[in-house]
Amino acid sequence: MSGPGGRRGRAGWAGRKGPPPWWPADEPWPPRGGRGPWGRRRGPWARRFGCLFGVAFLIGLVGLIGLVGSIVMAAGPFGHVARLLGIGVVILGLLAIAGSGRTFRRVAFSLDELSEAADRVEHGDYTTRVTVPLTGPRPMRDLARSFNEMVTRLEADEAQRRRLLADVSHELRTPLTVVQGNIEAMLDGVHAADEAHLAAILEETRVLGRLVDDLRTVALSESGSLPLHREPTDLAIVATDAVGGFRSAAQAAGVALDTEIAEDIPLLEVDPVRVREVISNLVANALRHTPSGGSIAVDARVDEAGRAVVVTVRDTGTGIDPELLPHVFDRFAKAPGSRGSGLGLAIARGLVEAHGGSIEVESAPDRGSTFRFRIPVNHEAG
């Protein structure tokens, strides 16, 4: 096929500045990443790398020949022996250069691929990956592998950023819609500007305020810049106060709420406000998913090694879906129909990790959930 759309027509257009007449208007020119006549198999930097290697080889070869010539000229009566040795050295040098040429060629192609991939990443293409050479210099393989890992993280961060924007927009839409609807109804005379309607607007503004505060806490904890005001803290007092704030709600919901705090817990060098927030988030989450007649138990004790205090919040609620369980500590992760914002557990994880601890969960549908977090013991504070 030799028409403008055939192989000859396409190959004949390769190298020209503008696209051919039949090229689609919505596709970039020249095409990138292909293996045809327009696919940049070796970019300018690869040619520069190749030229650099070629110059190095040439300098090495000239230097080798010059060195051998100098030895031959200085050999005097043993010139014929030196000449033979020089020829042998030159041959060995050529063989060594020829043997290393393949390695340098492989490195040049890898550098070419890396430079093109870096250019695509610069323009926002985080799906780019490079081929990790199976052979060749180990630093080159490590560089390709590190590049792929870097782009993978960039791609994950970009996806997370997009999800965050979508989730924040979704969470803000409901209270803003309620506020806007009530105000418009008042202005249109549908609703009176009385205490009942104004109270509904005020409550939605409080929801917005809590959401903004939660987002700020999550952002600070994930960035590692969350300020902690550490002080010697009695965890028994903090846990008792945190649980006490939910007793009225638990009684109204028909849920038993019990606490068991070990007496041998030492003073912890922690931020008491933040630790109370962690316990409150876990208890609130348990209360939200435990039906009437169920129970919630909170206990704290020192682990067997004596290196950390373990706080456990166990409920007999509906449990967590297996598909949601691996993502339960992610931002805005929540079961369908959940009344929460999906930030409480993400905040709990961030606050625990800010204290150098860890948090985990065990759960099964209709069998309840067990949240457990650890905070290292500061022996100096005890």
- Cis ω for the linkage preceding 266 (within 30 of 0): no
Global confidence as pTM: 0.58
Q: Give the burial class of 366: count Cβ atoms within 10 A of its Cβ; 0-12 exposed, 13-18 middle, 19 or more buried.
A: exposed
CB 258 within 8 A of CB 297: yes
State the Cα–Cα distance between residues 131 and 140, nearest whole angstrom: 11
Nearest to 182 by CA among 200, 194, 170, 169: 200
Query: Cα 245 to chain center, whole Å?
Result: 36
Quote the pLDDT of residue 357: 93
State the Cα–Cα distance between residues 242 and 199, nearest whole angstrom: 27
Quote the pLDDT of residue 337: 66
Laid out side by side, the sheet with 295-302 consists of: 256-261, 295-302, 308-315, 369-376, 358-363
Nearest to 98 by CA among 88, 87, 90: 90
Angle at 206 between CA 203 and CA 207, to 5 degrees: 90
Quote the pLDDT of residue 57: 65
Helices 272-288 & 235-244, crossing angle to 10 degrees?
40
State the Cα–Cα distance between residues 317 and 288, nearest whole angstrom: 9
Quote the pLDDT of residue 76: 56
State the Cα–Cα distance between residues 357 and 376, nearest whole angstrom: 6
Quote the pLDDT of residue 36: 41
Quote the pLDDT of residue 34: 44
* pLDDT, one tens digit for every residue, the chain (382 residues): 444 444 444 444 444 556 666 566 666 665 554 444 444 444 444 455 556 566 666 666 666 666 666 655 555 555 565 556 656 666 666 666 666 666 666 777 777 788 888 888 888 888 888 888 877 778 888 888 898 999 888 888 788 777 777 777 777 787 888 888 889 988 888 888 888 888 888 888 888 888 888 888 887 877 777 888 999 999 999 999 999 999 999 999 999 999 999 988 999 999 999 999 999 999 999 998 899 999 999 999 999 888 899 999 999 998 988 888 888 888 777 776 666 667 888 889 999 999 999 999 999 888 899 999 999 986 444 3
State the Cα–Cα distance between residues 83 and 80, nearest whole angstrom: 5
Beta strands 268-270 and 231-233, pairing class: antiparallel
Quote the pLDDT of residue 171: 74
Joined together, the tokens standing for residue 298 give 């909170």
Here the contacts of 345-350 (C-beta below 8 Å, separation 24 or greater) are 345/281, 345/282, 345/285, 346/218, 347/214, 347/217, 347/218, 347/221, 347/277, 347/278, 347/281, 348/277, 348/278, 348/281, 348/282, 348/373, 349/221, 350/217, 350/218, 350/220, 350/221, 350/222, 350/226
The phi and psi torsions of 119 (rounded to 5 degrees) equal: -65, -40
CB 151 within 8 A of CB 126: yes
Torsion sign (Cα): 276, 278, 279, 284: positive
Joined together, the tokens standing for residue 39 give 């696919």
Quote the pLDDT of residue 382: 38
Instruction: Specify the residue for token string 């292909």.
Output: 34
CB 373 within 8 A of CB 329: no
**Is residue 317 classed as helix, strand or coil in its secondary structure?**
coil
State the Cα–Cα distance between residues 110 and 28, nearest whole angstrom: 25
